[in-house]
């Protein structure tokens, strides 16, 4: 399942670390009488502007959306909250929904003893970040689905990720866990409440303990370079062990680094990703991440933000090397988005699901990768049983038994994912063909495979449109228009920008909204939405030279500063002052996407150069000084900020950028 590991700077909250064994060791069933429980189910989610929430509307669990109604019920009935956070394209979110939230007995436990809240992390990143900070502090790593138990005011006291319905594989089952927590709340609610409040206080204090850097030097870049090299997989590319994520921010940093070894790490990773199963070899685009260290077996969701940022990495590789193969991957990735994720209004949908229907007439029976994987019979049906099949099998690593091994759910057993198992030279040597015949076989096999795949039940689309992710895509298209000399990409970027301006932006007041779903706007946007759109407008200005895009970038950034700027320590909070949460998070870490602070530093510096506004440059410096302080021991976690490190004052003396003391307010 997708996960995030412990952020540097987090300390395990000792009082909470003891909470987990306290729950795990408790015993005795909760007092439960199912006969008088009204099973109203998740009907409150039917009208939600979230595909993820809607998919739980027919659950027997009495789900509430995040809001006053749920908290008022928890207070009135003195019940703890169960907060389930996920997203539409998350495979394990679908698994937990099928296994636990459709189960009548588990639903009965939730309905009787808890107030259950369902949250779409993509619509409410502020909620997700707050509870993720808690789970990272207490468990060391987190992921989705995220399962949080909290007291009635929302302060957490226990959290985890995926729980199976029954205890197995070393994981406590939902049925057992809910019973134990309900019993603990009945006997020790006061103790739980005190522990929860201590956790909230500790998390708030963590946010203010950061001491910004007083002087910015090249130490952070050198340390980050060394840290990245230390986890680089020199054989298969990428960083660390399985699961492997593309980490485009890290690739962009390495590509612009002045050390040849850094560029080589990025290029080798991009080459291996291109050849791997994480790259859809037939339809273009990249899956979310690889479950193995060789990039062969992906989790199959295709996220808009991944396509945009990965395309930028391949564009960067093309800019550095001039090699056509990198331009080709960037182009095919952008074209996949334009063909599969573009709305007729010009904006871009969020994602394609990891799971898809197995049969046309049974949309509820879905399996991961059903659209993309191949059994031997499906393979033979598409290619025949002759030479073409043998050629394609050797090329893509397809076997009779299947090459997708090691999947714990068993859904990929006996199936094949497609990756380029052999180079063109190896294939020609094996079969004795010249280049022209090899190209003919490749084209014929791919044509037949695409035709066969297109007849399968389509992959469900998450068709909400998120401001930040549209911003990522606009930036990628604008950069592609310049580097690939393709005006069509610029026009599509303009179309998307106009969609954002008409559907997600209120000119009066300069308010940007988080998302749009079938005519309905979501909540006001977060710092990442403003940062991504300001960056996108600047990219359009670079591509077109039209002053209106520069003016819009300035307006968006001005609003971002007004809503999110931390006047005390520098940098941007993720949410506005009236977030209503128990903690206001602020991060410089680049994860699956680029941090709001990373994009903002880049934009502030560019706007300062255009306008000669020293106050913008000062804010960029203060944001970087704060980020450097937060990630003092792990600067490789903020690679996008480090891309702009040398620009912060632009005056280098003896390897050090002269800055003076940090300014405080």
What pLDDT is stored for residue 584 in this prediction?
A: 84
Give CA angle at 160 (184, 200), nearest 5°: 70
Q: In sequence order, which residues have a C-beta less than 8 Å from that of residue 368 and are 6 or more positions away?
A: 91, 299, 300, 354, 355, 409, 411, 412
Length of the chain, please?
A: 665
Q: In sequence order, which residues have a C-beta less than 8 Å from that of residue 291 and are 6 or more positions away?
A: 242, 243, 297, 298, 299, 406, 407
Classified as helix, coil or strand, 14 is helix
* Rg of the chain (C-alpha set): 25
- Specify whether the CB–CB gap between 86 and 131 falls below 8 A: no
Cβ burial of 169 (10 Å; 0-12, 13-18, 19+) is exposed
Record the tokens describing residue 438, joined without a space: 């090899």
How crowded is residue 513: how many other Cβ atoms within 10 Å of its Cβ?
Answer: 18
Task: Kindly report whether the peptide bond that precedes residue 145 is cis, defined as omega within 30 degrees of 0.
Answer: yes
Rounded distance between C-alpha atoms, residue 279 and residue 295, angstroms: 9
Encode pLDDT of 410-467 as tens digits.
788 899 999 999 988 999 999 988 888 999 999 999 999 999 999 999 999 999 999 9
Paired strand residues for 120: 86
**Segments in the chain below pLDDT 50:** 3, 5-37, 39, 407-409, 650-665
Residue among 7, 9, 5 at smallest CA distance from 210: 9
How many Å from the N-terminal Cα to the C-terminal Cα in the chain?
Answer: 43
Residue among 20, 351, 64 at smallest CA distance from 195: 20
Record the tokens describing residue 157, joined without a space: 């006291």
Encode pLDDT of 149-179 as tens digits.
999 999 999 999 999 999 987 888 999 999 9
Cα-Cα-Cα-Cα dihedral sign, residues 578, 580, 582, 584: negative
- Specify whether the CB–CB gap between 79 and 113 falls below 8 A: yes
- Tokens 């809240």 label which residue? 117
Encode pLDDT of 21-34 as tens digits.
444 433 333 444 44
Residue among 356, 345, 19 at smallest CA distance from 194: 19
Q: Per residue in 150-159, is it b (16+ CB within 10 Å) or e — as a string?
A: bbbebbbbbb
E strand or H helix at 553, and its extent?
A: helix 547-564
- Specify whether the CB–CB gap between 420 and 442 falls below 8 A: no
User: pTM here?
Assistant: 0.90
Rounded distance between C-alpha atoms, residue 474 and residue 223, angstroms: 32
Rounded distance between C-alpha atoms, residue 334 and residue 489, angstroms: 9
Cα-Cα-Cα-Cα dihedral sign, residues 8, 9, 11, 16: negative
What pLDDT is stored for residue 7 in this prediction?
A: 42
What pLDDT is stored for residue 51 in this prediction?
A: 92
Rounded distance between C-alpha atoms, residue 231 and residue 82, angstroms: 37
Classified as helix, coil or strand, 511 is strand
Domains along the chain?
A: 3-208 (3.40.30.10), 215-240+565-665 (no CATH), 362-458 (no CATH)
- DSSP alpha helices (H): ranges in 209-323? 219-231, 248-256, 260-275, 304-321
- Specify whether the CB–CB gap between 287 and 278 falls below 8 A: yes
What pLDDT is stored for residue 69 in this prediction?
A: 95
Cα-Cα-Cα-Cα dihedral sign, residues 258, 254, 595, 241: negative
Rounded distance between C-alpha atoms, residue 128 and residue 526, angstroms: 12
Record the tokens describing residue 234, joined without a space: 């020199």
Classified as helix, coil or strand, 565 is strand
How crowded is residue 248: how many other Cβ atoms within 10 Å of its Cβ?
Answer: 28
CA 518 to chain centroid: 22
Q: DSSP letter string over 116-151?
A: EEEEETTT-HHHHHHHHHHHHHHHSEEESSEEEEE-
What pLDDT is stored for residue 191 in this prediction?
A: 94
Query: What is the longest distance spanned by two Cα atoms in the chain?
Result: 77
- Specify whether the CB–CB gap between 91 and 1 falls below 8 A: yes
Between the alpha carbon of residue 277 and those of residues 238, 325, 426, the distances in Å are 14, 17, 19
Report strand pairing: 115-120 vs 81-86.
parallel
DSSP-derived letter for residue 342 is B
Rounded distance between C-alpha atoms, residue 650 and residue 624, angstroms: 14
The helix, strand and coil proportions of the chain, stated in percent and rounded to the nearest 5, come to 50, 15, 35
What pLDDT is stored for residue 202 in this prediction?
A: 87
Classified as helix, coil or strand, 244 is strand
Record the tokens describing residue 571, joined without a space: 């940098």
E strand or H helix at 356, and its extent?
A: strand 355-359
Record the tokens describing residue 457, joined without a space: 């039940």
E strand or H helix at 176, and its extent?
A: helix 174-208
What pLDDT is stored for residue 39 in this prediction?
A: 44
CA atoms within 13 A on the CB side of 339: 9
Between the alpha carbon of residue 203 and those of residues 15, 121, 567, the distances in Å are 12, 20, 20
């Amino acid at each position: 399942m997708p996960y995030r590991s412990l952020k540097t700077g987090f300390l395990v909250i000792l009082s909470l670390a003891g909470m987990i064994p306290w729950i795990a060791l408790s015993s005795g069933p909760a007092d439960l009488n199912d006969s008088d429980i009204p099973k109203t189910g998740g009907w409150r989610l039917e009208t939600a502007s979230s595909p993820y929430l809607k998919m739980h509307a027919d659950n027997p669990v009495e789900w509430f959306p995040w809001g006053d109604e749920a908290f008022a019920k928890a207070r009135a009935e003195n019940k703890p909250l169960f907060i389930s956070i996920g997203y539409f394209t998350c495979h394990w979110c679908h698994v937990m929904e099928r296994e636990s939230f459709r189960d009548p007995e588990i639903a009965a436990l939730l309905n009787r003893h808890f107030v259950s809240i369902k949250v779409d992390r993509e619509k409410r990143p502020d909620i997700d970040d707050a509870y993720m900070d808690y789970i990272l502090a207490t468990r060391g790593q987190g992921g989705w689905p995220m399962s949080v138990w909290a007291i009635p005011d929302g302060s957490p006291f226990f959290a985890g990720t995926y729980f199976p319905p029954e205890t197995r594989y070393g994981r406590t089952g939902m049925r057992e866990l809910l019973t134990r927590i309900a019993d603990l709340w009945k006997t020790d609610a006061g103790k739980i409440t005190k522990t929860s409040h201590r956790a909230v206080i500790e998390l708030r204090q963590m946010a203010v303990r950061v001491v910004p850097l007083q002087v910015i030097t090249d130490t952070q870049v050198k340390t980050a370079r060394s840290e990245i090299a230390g986890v680089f997989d020199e054989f298969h590319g990428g960083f660390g062990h399985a699961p492997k994520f593309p980490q485009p921010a890290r690739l962009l940093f390495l590509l612009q680094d002045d050390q040849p070894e850094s560029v080589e790490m990025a290029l080798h990773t991009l080459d291996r990703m291109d050849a791997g199963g994480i790259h859809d070899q037939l339809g273009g685009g990249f899956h979310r991440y690889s479950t193995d260290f060789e990039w062969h077996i992906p989790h199959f969701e295709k996220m808009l933000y991944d396509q945009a940022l990965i395309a930028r990495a391949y564009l960067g590789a093309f800019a550095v090397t001039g090699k056509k193969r990198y331009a080709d991957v960037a182009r095919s990735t952008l074209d996949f988005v334009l063909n599969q994720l573009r709305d007729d209004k010009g904006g871009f949908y969020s994602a394609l699901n990891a799971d898809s229907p197995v049969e046309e007439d049974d949309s509820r029976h879905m399996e991961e990768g059903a659209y993309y994987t191949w059994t031997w019979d499906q393979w033979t049906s598409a290619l025949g049983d002759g030479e073409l099949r043998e050629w394609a099998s050797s090329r893509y690593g397809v076997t009779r038994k299947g090459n997708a091994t090691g999947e714990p759910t068993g859904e990929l057993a006996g199936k094949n994912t497609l990756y380029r198992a052999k180079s063109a030279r190896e294939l020609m040597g094996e079969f004795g063909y010249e280049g022209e015949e090899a190209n003919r076989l490749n084209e014929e096999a791919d044509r037949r495979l695409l035709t066969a795949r297109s007849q399968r039940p389509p992959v469900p689309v998450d068709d909400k449109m998120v401001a930040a992710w549209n911003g990522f895509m606009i930036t990628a298209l604008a950069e592609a228009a310049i580097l690939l000399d393709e005006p069509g990409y610029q026009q599509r970027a303009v179309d998307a920008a106009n969609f954002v301006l008409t559907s997600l932006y209120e000119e009066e007041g300069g308010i940007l909204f988080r998302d749009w779903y079938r005519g309905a706007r979501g909540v006001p946007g977060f710092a990442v939405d403003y940062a991504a759109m300001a960056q996108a407008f600047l990219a359009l200005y670079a591509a077109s030279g039209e002053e209106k895009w520069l003016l819009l970038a300035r307006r968006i950034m001005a609003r971002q500063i007004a809503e999110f700027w931390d006047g005390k320590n520098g940098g941007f909070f993720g949410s506005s002052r009236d977030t209503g949460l128990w903690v206001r998070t602020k991060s410089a870490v680049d994860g699956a996407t680029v941090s709001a602070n990373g994009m903002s530093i880049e934009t502030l510096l560019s706007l300062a150069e255009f306008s000669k506004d020293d106050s913008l440059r000062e804010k960029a410096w203060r944001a970087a000084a704060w980020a450097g302080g937060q990630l003092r021991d792990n600067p490789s976690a903020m690679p996008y900020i480090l891309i702009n490190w040398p620009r912060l004052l632009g005056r280098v003396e003896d390897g050090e950028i002269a800055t003076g003391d940090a300014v405080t307010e």
